[in-house]
């Protein structure tokens, strides 16, 4: 395997400061550098469908719930890691496209339930395949076994970062 730009940076540090252990920096910088190309690939895959990534995230969160494909707005915000204000704006945009509906909860009229429309379900069921294809393309340089190993390692890193 040939060296990359991060290897060059780490080599420079090891020459200048040989006492430093730069191994973790090599991992962190590489992960940070992956965000932009992964994001671009996902965005392009959804552009073909006329969807923005934020729209996909909201529709996906609803679809994964199973029937009736609905969540309270607060639960949807939590699921997508957004503030309630940001979620309101996103739901408004999806309402205008006819992909979701907003209703008052039966037992609490102050609570809002967001659910997929029939068209919203069709759109997300199509979009997930585009999203999976883009993810596969992003990882085309590594085997299925390596993908599984990498996912386990990244999960472990994420969990330790959350702690």
pLDDT of the residue at 63 = 97
Show the DSSP H helices in the chain as ranges: 5-16, 23-47, 53-63, 73-79, 84-96, 118-138, 144-162
% of the chain residues with pLDDT over 70: 99
For the beta carbon of residue 92, count every other beta carbon within 10 angstroms: 11
User: 71 burial class (0-12, 13-18, 19+ CB within 10 angstroms)?
Assistant: buried
pLDDT category at 85 given cuts 50, 70, 90 is: confident
pLDDT category at 47 given cuts 50, 70, 90 is: very high
pTM of the model: 0.83
pLDDT category at 92 given cuts 50, 70, 90 is: very high
138 conformational bin, left if phi > 0, alpha if psi -120 to 50, beta if neither: alpha
Kindly state the average pLDDT of the residues 17-28: 92
Give the integer Cα–Cα distance in Å for 61 and 121: 11
Residue 90: pLDDT over 80: yes
Residue 51 in contact with residue 94, Cβ under 8 Å? no
Q: Each residue of 99-141: pLDDT tens digit?
A: 999 988 777 667 889 999 999 999 999 999 999 999 999 999 9
Give the integer Cα–Cα distance in Å for 77 and 96: 19
Q: Which domains does the chain have, with CATH numbers?
A: 36-163 (1.10.10.10)
Q: How confident is the prediction for the chain on average, in pLDDT? A: 91
């Amino acid at each position: 395997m040939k060296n990359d730009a991060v290897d060059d940076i780490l080599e420079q540090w090891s020459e200048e400061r040989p006492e430093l252990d730069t191994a973790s920096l090599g991992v962190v910088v590489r992960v940070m550098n992956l965000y932009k190309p992964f994001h671009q690939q996902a965005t392009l895959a959804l552009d073909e469908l006329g969807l923005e990534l934020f729209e996909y995230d909201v529709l996906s969160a609803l679809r994964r719930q199973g029937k009736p494909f609905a969540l309270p707005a607060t639960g949807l915000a939590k699921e997508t890691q957004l503030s309630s204000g940001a979620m309101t704006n996103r739901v408004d945009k999806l309402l205008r496209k006819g992909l979701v509906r907003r209703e008052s909860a039966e037992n609490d009229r102050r609570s809002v339930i967001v659910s997929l429309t029939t068209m919203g379900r069709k759109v997300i069921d199509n979009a997930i395949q585009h999203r999976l294809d883009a993810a596969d393309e992003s990882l085309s340089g590594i085997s299925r076994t390596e993908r599984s190993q990498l996912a386990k390692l990244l999960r472990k890193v994420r969990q330790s970062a959350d702690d």
